[in-house]
Structure 1
Amino acid sequence: MHELSICRSIADIVTKHADGRHVATVHIRIGQLRQIVPDTLLYCWSMMNSDTPLAGTELQVESIPGALRCATCHTTQTLDAPVLICNSCSGRDVEIISGEEFLITTLDLAEA
């Protein structure tokens, strides 16, 4: 369950940037190729922060689908499964163009 250590890292970053202000919501983007289970992440977030200044803070997860571009036929496709083969030409010379994101995008903070 690496989601717990991820939550610890998120909490450290959020606490640093909140600078003592109340945090209502943490918005994050997670690519589907990151092998992070959103429901487990949300559970770990609420469990880990239950007795901290971040208690009650909502973790809002935006899931980013995986996508690739084929170097052979230049087709761009969204991935339904983690198979890195072009659907158009069966080429294997592909580049992942989305789905590996992991980013805290914004914090909803109380006024200072």
Structure 2
Amino acid sequence: MHELSICHSIVDIVGRHAAGREVRTVYLQVGALRQIVPETLRYCWTLVNADTPLAGSTLQVDSVPGAVRCRACEHRQLLTDAVLVCASCGGRDVEIVAGEEFLITTLDLAEA
């Protein structure tokens, strides 16, 4: 369950950026290719921040679907399975262009 260690890192980062202000919600973008289970991540969030200034805050996880671009024909497609083949020309020389994200995008802070 690597989601637990990820949450520890998020708590550290958010704590520094919140600078003592109350955090209500932390928004993340997590790519589908990251092998992170959003439900597990949210559960771990409540465990990790229970005794911190972030207690009571929520984690909002927005999933980013995986996508590839074919280098031969430039076709771009969303991945529906783990096969990295261009649906347009059948080429195997594809580049992953989405789905590997892991970003803290926004903090919803209480008014000062």
Question: What secondary structure does 1:108 align onto?
Answer: strand
RMSD value, Cα: 0.8
2:67 and 2:28 mapped to 1: Cα distance? 19
State the SS of the aligned residue for 1:87. coil
Q: Distance in 2 between matches of 1:35 and 1:66?
A: 11
Return structure 1 stretches of 4+ with deviation > 4 angstroms: none
Give the aligned partner of residue 84 of structure 1. 84
Q: How many residues are treated as equivalent by the alignment? A: 112
Q: Distance in 2 between matches of 1:46 and 1:90?
A: 45
Normalised by the size of structure 2, how large is the TM-score? 0.96
Question: 1:49 is matched with which residue?
Answer: 49
Deviations 1:63-84 (A, max 9, x none): 0000011011211100011221
Report the alpha carbon displacement of residue 42 of structure 1 after superposing the two structures with TM.
Answer: 0.5
User: Where does structure 2 lack aligned partners over 5 or more consecutive residues?
Assistant: none
Please report the TM-score for the alignment, with normalisation by the length of structure 1.
0.96
Which stretches in structure 1 are left out of the alignment for 5+ residues? none
**Residues 68 and 97, structure 1, Cα contact 8 Å, conserved in 2:** yes
